[in-house]
Amino acid sequence: MTEPTTEQLALRAKTLLTSIGAELPTSGTLPARTPISGGTLAYVTVDTPASAEAAIDRAATAFESWRTVPAPARARLVRALAALLVEYKSELAELVTLEAGKIEAEALGEVQEMIDVCEFAIGLSRQLYGLTMASEREGHRLMETWHPLGVVGVISAFNFPVAVWAWNAAIALVCGDTVVWKPSETTPLTALACHTLMRRAAASVGVDPDVHQLVQGEVGPTLVDDPRIALLSATGSVRMGAIVAPKVAARFGRCLLELGGNNAAIVTPSADLDLAVRGIVFSAAGTAGQRCTSLRRLIVHRSIVDQVVDRLTVAYHQLPVGNPLDAGILVGPLINERAFVAMQEALVHATSDGGEVIVGGERVDSVDHDAYYVRPALVRMPEQTAIVRHETFAPTLYVLAYDTLKDAIALNNAVPQGLSSSIFTLNQREAETFIAESDCGIANVNIGTSGAEIGGAFGGEKETGGGRESGSDSWKTYMRRATNTINYSDQLPLAQGISFG
């Protein structure tokens, strides 16, 4: 495994930011660390509660005029952003690799997802439809209209440092909202790059750049508590959501939560195993198991479980682990030491519960001991124990056996999280039963749990938080609904036939 020095990586990050037009702070206290070497690329200036409040104030002021701009005209800003994302796709993707440790293909895919959601939002700007309903009163028209909501606060996580922001920002902006973004403290440079591109896009179409604000550092509580944040979209841990949700609710604000996922795939006797193995390996090992949709539980029919485990073992032994900047690497580093420790502790728990580590789990030798490369782990479990029901954000896949489809679906549902799920089967009855009975926000057939398209609503149930982002009618979260009654008669009949006076 080749290992560039932190100094080389830092110089590359500076070059990439400069090419995008971002100015790297000359001083700061927030370290922008790279998991590739474990070293620090730069230091970023952090916000204080006062400066974060000032950013919210700028966004609130900008909202008053932005809300009056027609939605198709607001889309001009998103179109300009999409054009810049296309122009700087490779540069932004490389920054994602440097800060989040994603391999090139996944980093490029994440930026493409940003471009795709911008295109979706541009089309959406002409489709913010309401309804016309039949009124029970003669000479009356009953309808609903949708209006901009206000300032949207976005708190994003390290594992998708740019795509999740784009999901929220692109939709919110065409809906007439302004945005205040607090990225993960782990990925401040990619956020700086995106904010720069947004400001460049605004300047190119004559839009007030204050419609988008960036705040860095530990100022999440400021966004949570400020009543000017009409909607808080927060991606992170269940623990974070449990703190955020009641605080926002206490001030009668709105929350969009994307929290934990402990995703399962069922493999039935009729499954195409060639297809299933490919889908399983990508879902479990992709992004080093650090996707909220990563596959963590594999539920296989008892008659084929040994065969599936054998095929996965061969595939896992062949997975190249190493520097994500190198060609041919499929699994990059864990984000930090804490992630590595959590994985090791989970494996200890699993074996103490009677599990057997079939392959993986060990750290790959590294010259720089601040970088954490691990081989994805495949663990055979006798039952779904507490550690299996707990989400560990690392490439660990637990394998369980089942006897009936009812048992398999029960195992799928018997965890606190409810994000993504899938079934591999060529039996239509099994597929349809699974779709009807999986309690997750995403239920797939003959595809893994990860790799959601932007056209569908993304999100999950239970401890996943219930939020929906991206496609379908998720835009309604970013707007407020008004029911309108128009009387075009010269009478004043009351509803329900009431007579008054």
Q: Distance (Å, rounded) from C-alpha 166 to C-alpha 117?
A: 7
94-144 pLDDT per residue, tens: 999 999 999 999 999 999 999 999 999 999 999 999 999 999 999 999 999
Amino acid 369: pLDDT: 73
Residue 35 in tokens: 């998991």
The arithmetic mean of pLDDT across residues 140-158, rounded, is: 98
Q: Which amino acid is at 501?
A: G
309-327 pLDDT per residue, tens: 999 999 999 999 999 999 9
Helix or strand run (H / E) with residue 284:
helix 273-285
The arithmetic mean of pLDDT across residues 372-392, rounded, is: 98
CB 456 within 8 A of CB 469: no
Amino acid 443: pLDDT: 98
Domain 7-259+465-482 has CATH 3.20.20.100: no
**Cα 144 to Cα 129, 138, 183, 364, 492, distances in angstroms:** 9, 18, 35, 58, 21
Q: Of the listed 3, 106, 258, 469, which one is catalytic?
A: 258
48-92 pLDDT per residue, tens: 999 999 999 999 999 999 999 999 999 999 999 999 999 999 999
pLDDT at 201 over 90: yes
Residue 424 in tokens: 């591999």
pLDDT at 344 over 60: yes
Q: Distance (Å, rounded) from C-alpha 298 to C-alpha 400?
A: 6
Is there a catalytic annotation at residue 258?
A: yes
Amino acid 281: pLDDT: 98
pLDDT at 497 over 90: no
496 or 143, which is more confident?
143
Domain 263-445 has CATH 3.40.50.300: no
Q: Distance (Å, rounded) from C-alpha 364 to C-alpha 377?
A: 12
The arithmetic mean of pLDDT across residues 259-284, rounded, is: 98
CB 134 within 8 A of CB 142: yes
pLDDT at 454 over 60: yes
Percent of the chain with pLDDT over 90: 95
The arithmetic mean of pLDDT across residues 234-261, rounded, is: 97
Let me know how long the chain is: 501
Q: Distance (Å, rounded) from C-alpha 211 to C-alpha 60?
A: 8
Q: Distance (Å, rounded) from C-alpha 108 to C-alpha 86?
A: 11
Q: Where are the domains of the chain?
A: 7-259+465-482, 263-445
Amino acid 1: pLDDT: 57
**Cα 337 to Cα 47, 224, 250, 361, distances in angstroms:** 26, 28, 36, 14
- State the helix-helix crossing angle for 188-205 and 163-174, rounded to 10 degrees: 30
289-309 pLDDT per residue, tens: 999 999 999 999 999 999 999
Nearest to 257 by CA among 154, 125, 110, 334: 154
Q: Average per-residue pLDDT in the chain?
A: 96
Amino acid 368: pLDDT: 64
